[in-house]
């Protein structure tokens, strides 16, 4: 066929499409699923199914915020820092806190008041007071400070074990050092462990409530206006959004009580460095069990050393608690008493062994 006829044929097809002329049979595309009876599945009376129950309204945030804000304070600390040449200057660090009674005790984070030369607290009504440190605990990232003031409003503490993933929460604090603000979110995860500069925090609440610099030490509250957490850390990365953490109220309360009563927290100590055993780790290291806490280091003279624990032993029970992860072991140790004798079950090679350890107070350094 000559080029002229090909061109004419293509033009005829284009013209036929534009004016609706039918194409030859071999250019038509048939649909094997098309039915001549196009209305066989139609239902002119169809409507969306009605919900069996009315929709649940969103929680009413303003009453909760109004109730809690008078007990939330802005915390400003003065910290002396040195530059590369040894020259000193003063920096101001913003944080938050929450009154835990009417006597002036305020719960906050250890990292908010760490190395502070002076601490100032601003109340919701605008009053400003100097504050003294009552006690701090680096391991839990908790601290208690105190002001000398009257007519103080405090908020009751709730039971964080009653939280559910998806439950509404509010983070209230001195965000960006610009005054008390409130942000809403939900509980994303419970009982989370996060490593912060070499220190692992346990029993955390993960939330989508925006957490900004300055929020640290402020309360995370439920819709009853109860404190169910102390805002502590967030993950900051380009690909991460909406991941903040709070120390759960049930984890925080015993530490806060000890700080007020004694000025410090005494932690039972085993004296080992461990890793969590996973199925992948068990396969790669040819371990005989696929869960537990594997010992990576035993400190000389520690309770673990005295109990005969060795590197590569896998702790699977501590007292009456099954151990599947590092977090399980840490919780079991922290729930024990200093001077208590605890039975440890561990796996060495293919053998399961039992020993007894007497816990001592964790060294301060």
Give the C-alpha separation, 72 to 157, whole Å.
Answer: 13
**Contact of 5 with 12, CB cutoff 8 Å:** no
Q: Which helix (H) or strand (E) holds 254?
A: helix 249-262
Residues catalogued as catalytic: 111, 141, 216
Distances from the Cα of 335 to the Cα of 144, 161, 166, 212, angstroms: 21, 16, 28, 32
Query: Of 114, 126, 112, 106, which Cα lies nearest the Cα of 76?
Result: 112
d(CA 205, CA 203): 7
The token duo for 231 is: 């805002």
What is the three-state SS of 41-81? CCCCCCCCCCCCCCCCCCCCHHHHHHHHHHHEEEEEEEEEE
DSSP string, 223-239: TTS-EEEEEEEE---TT
Specify which residues 145 forms β-bridges with: 106, 133
Question: How many CB atoms lie under 10 A from the CB of residue 138?
Answer: 13
């Amino acid at each position: 066929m000559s080029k002229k006829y090909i061109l004419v044929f293509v033009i005829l097809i284009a013209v036929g499409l534009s004016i609706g002329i039918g194409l030859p049979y071999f250019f038509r595309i048939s649909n094997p699923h098309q039915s001549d009876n196009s209305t066989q599945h139609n239902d002119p009376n169809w409507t969306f199914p009605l919900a069996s129950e009315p929709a649940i309204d969103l929680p009413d945030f303003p009453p909760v915020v109004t109730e809690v804000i008078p007990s939330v304070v802005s915390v400003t600390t003065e910290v002396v820092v040195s530059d590369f040449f040894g020259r000193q200057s003063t920096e101001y660090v913003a944080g938050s806190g929450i009154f835990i009674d009417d006597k002036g005790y305020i719960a906050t984070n250890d990292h908010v008041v760490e190395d502070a030369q002076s601490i100032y607290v601003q109340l919701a009504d605008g009053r400003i007071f100097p504050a003294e440190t009552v006690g701090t605990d680096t391991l839990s990232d908790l601290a208690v400070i105190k002001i000398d003031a009257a007519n103080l409003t405090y908020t009751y503490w709730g039971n964080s074990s009653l939280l559910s993933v998806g439950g509404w929460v509010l983070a209230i604090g001195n965000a960006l050092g610009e005054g008390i603000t409130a942000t809403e979110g939900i509980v994303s995860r419970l009982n989370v462990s996060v490593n912060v500069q070499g220190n692992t925090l346990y029993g955390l609440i993960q939330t989508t409530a925006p957490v900004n610099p300055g929020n640290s030490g402020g309360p995370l509250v439920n819709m009853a206006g109860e404190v169910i957490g102390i805002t502590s850390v967030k993950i900051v990365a380009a690909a991460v959004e909406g991941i903040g953490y709070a120390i759960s109220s049930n984890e925080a309360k015993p530490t806060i009580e000890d700080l007020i009563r004694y000025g410090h927290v005494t932690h039972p100590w085993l004296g080992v460095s461990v890793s969590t055993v996973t199925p992948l780790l068990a396969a790669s290291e040819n371990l005989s069990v696929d869960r537990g806490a594997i010992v990576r280091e035993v400190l000389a003279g520690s309770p673990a050393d005295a109990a005969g624990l060795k590197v590569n032993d896998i702790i699977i029970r501590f007292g009456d608690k099954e151990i599947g992860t590092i977090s399980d072991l840490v919780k079991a140790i922290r729930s024990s008493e200093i001077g208590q004798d605890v039975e440890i079950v561990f796996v060495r090679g293919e053998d399961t062994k039992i020993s007894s350890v007497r816990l001592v107070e964790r060294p301060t350094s």
